Amino acid sequence: MVDQRKNLGKWGEQKAKEYLIKQGYHFITGNWQNRLGEIDLVMKDRETLVFIEVRTKRSHKYGTSIESINEKKQQQMVKMANAFLRYKQWWEIPIRFDVVTIDQHEGVYQLRHHKNVIQ
């Protein structure tokens, strides 16, 4: 079960990356991690560095993918972004937080890009 979920997550991250590249984003890194956690994707949208959480779900039994981005998860995203920026020593770059959701509905996966989810 854990392997299936992990594989689904990796598949979703790859689909999100492909989609964003087609939209003109530039890939910086994926699955960047430290002792605090992990960032799924870091990409550039023109001059803005975008930290992207990818959520892929097969069912809505426990809510939709976007509903799983609660306040705690948002705080984690900010913490990880700050760690990444310190690591890279990128001090003067505009940033944004996006979420890409991939939800299965009637056997078909639907990808949605939610921009600027944290103000």
> Please, which residues bridge with residue 104 across strands?
109
- Per-residue pLDDT of 93-108, as tens digits, reads 999 999 999 987 777 8
19: left (phi over 0), alpha (psi -120 to 50) or beta: alpha
- Per-residue pLDDT of 50-96, as tens digits, reads 999 999 887 666 677 788 888 999 999 999 999 999 999 998 999 99
Number of domains within the chain: 1
**CATH number of the domain within which 80 lies:** 3.40.1350.10
pTM: 0.91
Task: Residue 14: give the domain boundaries.
Answer: 2-114
Q: Give which of 96, 87, 112 is closest to 34, Cα–Cα.
A: 87
Q: Is residue 54 part of a domain?
A: yes
Residue 95: φ, ψ to 5°: -130, 165
Q: How far is CA 118 from CA 28, 36, 75, 97, in A?
A: 20, 19, 9, 6
Token pair listed for 66: 């976007």
